[in-house]
Chain A
């Protein structure tokens, strides 16, 4: 009964968010960008870029991180969580595409980068990465559908191409995650020095890997609760340890970079920047310190909460790069309009709803199908490490 009312509550919240998003959609497409946003000539990019695109792509990073772990590095014990990670990534990219349709002034021209090439443009690279990696994620997601409908021959055929597809996906992700940082390299005189650095592409990439791990922990926790499944706890513990190390690497790079550029002085300047910078760093440093402790890693709740805290830190960082750091030089104060927030939250709600639907109807979780199906893309039986992980 308790579970039931909790679902009902979230369903109502989801329905309200989707309705608000629908109203905002009408405003955007029956009207104009000016009607639906608080964007201006001085501040042309808002939360549809800062959150929906920058964070959306980052939060989808679990797809390539785990695909590489399991299919390239052959760490088979992580196999049970690779499918939910790929599903999350695929949905994430579809939602980024949807957000782009809202943000572009003429979304019907979205195919133009296919034929009108400008290799000097970071946005050109970003566009191609979105298109190609969404295709790759579709191919990585397809086995779930083929398995569901027992299309054995198609599945076998697809499996033959899977390794090159996974490698392509890792490379495209590397390019895409970093290129979102590269986008901002051309604005040195506009960005606050706490965020502008030639290292932006590398920082974006490293923090994306950490985010991929944190998102995997996040979704494992939620699916375990929603579907009353066993949490793959030994795996989660291992992910948590790697997550702590990745955050440590990221923060070390971040601090060394700021010191190297002698930019700490920016913290003396009054304004919201220094507080939002502090918030971003604290939200990453605290979960790192927590997860480095053995004691924290013994509790599923502690791991989950630490991961959520890191994810909030990651989101703060992307919003700081995309919005906070540019506000001072623009001379205007940007606050998103209700319709901008509604579209963003609506897309997030849609993401949760579709994930739930997919998890109910497709073989996303290994133990959801009876009898246990063979591993997704490989015919080998699970290795001893995998079996040991299951026993724990």
Chain B
């Protein structure tokens, strides 16, 4: 069963208990100053962002076909069967390609550590395996963030929009972004007005590089034959020229 998280911006009151629960779960410091920083960083793996009266939440989207997993040269990132995209810090060499490539700009780095790690939300993978909801879901007083089965949550999101079309923007963010994610967002206004990137391709990103990478065997085979052939012809021509010269 694939798990997912649904965030309903219309229910969110911006109390930031999700931030606090996340920090506690990851042993990160949390105080008013950190709460006021409305961006992801190595001490804030999820954040509430304020847009006037409205709020939006940023966390790892846990793509179905994750860009970060595909770009990591050392398989330090893994899409688990349950849905979360998790990070194996002992494998990482710190090339930061995941950060450069992530269309949602989620991965952050411990820039000031001598043993730096990439950091990001892991959808509380430790709790999901025990069939428990994520920390941010458990703590949310408004049920603005909930955890569930991916297909059921997507249906739930669509049901809420259909039941209340005047209150919701008629799309689910995450249903198709980067080929679909395991985090869904619904809101009252267009997503780009509350900080979500709506220019992300609707197909899985790894295809952009795989369409080139898959041709490597051909390049190697054709290149070897071509170079070997040219060498054979030119050296043969030289031999003949030398023989005739004598």
A residues whose Cβ falls under 8 Å from a Cβ of B:
31-35, 39-42, 44-45, 68, 71-74, 103-107, 109-110, 112-113, 116-127, 163, 167, 170-171, 174-175, 178, 182-183, 185-190, 198, 201, 326, 330, 380, 383
A105 and B109 contacting across the interface, CB-CB below 8 Å: yes
With A183-B97, A188-B208, A189-B199: A121-B70 Cβ-Cβ less than 8 Å: yes
A182 and B73 contacting across the interface, CB-CB below 8 Å: no
**B132 at the binding interface (Cβ < 8 Å):** no
By CB atoms of chain A within 10 A, which of B67, B93, B224 has the most? Answer: B93
B72-93 contact mask (Cβ, 8 Å, vs A): 1 or 0:
1111100000000000000111
**B129 at the binding interface (Cβ < 8 Å):** no
A74 and B213 contacting across the interface, CB-CB below 8 Å: no
B94 and A105 contacting across the interface, CB-CB below 8 Å: yes
B227's partner among A35, A72, A183, A330 (CB-CB below 8 A) is A72
With A45-B96, A109-B93, A174-B223: A122-B75 Cβ-Cβ less than 8 Å: no
Complex Cα spacing A185 to B213, Å: 11
A105's partner among B96, B108, B237 (CB-CB below 8 A) is B96
Complex Cα spacing A67 to B216, Å: 22
**B235 at the binding interface (Cβ < 8 Å):** yes
Q: Which residues of A contact B50 (CB under 8 A)?
A: none
B224 and A116 contacting across the interface, CB-CB below 8 Å: no
Q: Which residues of A contact B74 (CB under 8 A)?
A: 109, 112-113, 116, 118, 124
B206's partner among A107, A126, A186, A190 (CB-CB below 8 A) is A186
Tell me the B203-246 residues at the A interface (CB within 8 Å): 205-206, 208-213, 216, 219-220, 223-224, 227-228, 230-231, 234-235, 237-238, 242
B residues whose Cβ falls under 8 Å from a Cβ of A:
39-41, 67, 70-76, 91-97, 99-101, 103, 105, 107-109, 111-116, 197, 199-201, 205-206, 208-213, 216, 219-220, 223-224, 227-228, 230-231, 234-235, 237-238, 242
B235's partner among A74, A113, A120 (CB-CB below 8 A) is A74
Complex Cα spacing A175 to B218, Å: 11
Q: Which residues of B contact A116 (CB under 8 A)?
A: 73-76, 91
Complex Cα spacing A45 to B100, Å: 7
B95's partner among A104, A167, A185, A201 (CB-CB below 8 A) is A104
Q: Which residues of A contact B205 (CB under 8 A)?
A: 186
Q: Which residues of A contact B72 (CB under 8 A)?
A: 118, 121, 123
Complex Cα spacing A186 to B66, Å: 11
Residue of A whose beta carbon sits closest to that of B108: A41
Q: Which residues of B contact A383 (CB under 8 A)?
A: 238
B212 and A182 contacting across the interface, CB-CB below 8 Å: yes
B94 and A104 contacting across the interface, CB-CB below 8 Å: yes
By CB atoms of chain B within 10 A, which of A112, A163, A380 has the most? Answer: A112
Instruction: Supply 27 A–B pairs (Cβ within 8 Å), ascending by A.
Output: A33-B109, A33-B116, A41-B39, A41-B40, A41-B108, A41-B109, A45-B100, A74-B237, A104-B94, A105-B92, A105-B94, A106-B93, A109-B91, A116-B91, A120-B70, A121-B70, A122-B213, A124-B74, A127-B73, A163-B231, A167-B223, A167-B228, A171-B220, A178-B212, A183-B209, A189-B197, A189-B200
- In the A-B complex, list the 5 residue pairs whose CB atoms are closest, starting with the nearest: A105-B94, A34-B111, A109-B93, A74-B234, A123-B73
By CB atoms of chain A within 10 A, which of B71, B74, B231 has the most? Answer: B74
Q: Which residues of B contact A125 (CB under 8 A)?
A: 213, 216
B109 and A44 contacting across the interface, CB-CB below 8 Å: yes
B231 and A41 contacting across the interface, CB-CB below 8 Å: no
With A107-B93, A182-B209, A188-B208: A41-B75 Cβ-Cβ less than 8 Å: no
Q: Which residues of A contact B115 (CB under 8 A)?
A: 106
Q: Which residues of B contact A170 (CB under 8 A)?
A: 223, 227
Q: Which residues of B contact A72 (CB under 8 A)?
A: 227, 230-231, 234
A171's partner among B100, B112, B224 (CB-CB below 8 A) is B224
The distance from the CB of A42 to the nearest CB of chain B, in whole angstroms, is 7
B227 and A171 contacting across the interface, CB-CB below 8 Å: yes
A106's partner among B94, B103, B107 (CB-CB below 8 A) is B94
A380 and B231 contacting across the interface, CB-CB below 8 Å: no
Complex Cα spacing A71 to B237, Å: 14
A44's partner among B76, B92, B100 (CB-CB below 8 A) is B100
The distance from the CB of A23 to the nearest CB of chain B, in whole angstroms, is 18
Residue of B whose beta carbon sits closest to that of A108: B93
With A32-B112, A113-B74: A123-B95 Cβ-Cβ less than 8 Å: yes
The distance from the CB of A384 to the nearest CB of chain B, in whole angstroms, is 9
With A163-B231, A189-B199, A380-B238: A171-B219 Cβ-Cβ less than 8 Å: yes
Residue of B whose beta carbon sits closest to that of A122: B209
Q: Which residues of A contact B216 (CB under 8 A)?
A: 125, 175
A74 and B201 contacting across the interface, CB-CB below 8 Å: no
Complex Cα spacing A8 to B91, Å: 47
Complex Cα spacing A126 to B93, Å: 14
A185's partner among B108, B197, B208 (CB-CB below 8 A) is B208
A32 and B108 contacting across the interface, CB-CB below 8 Å: no
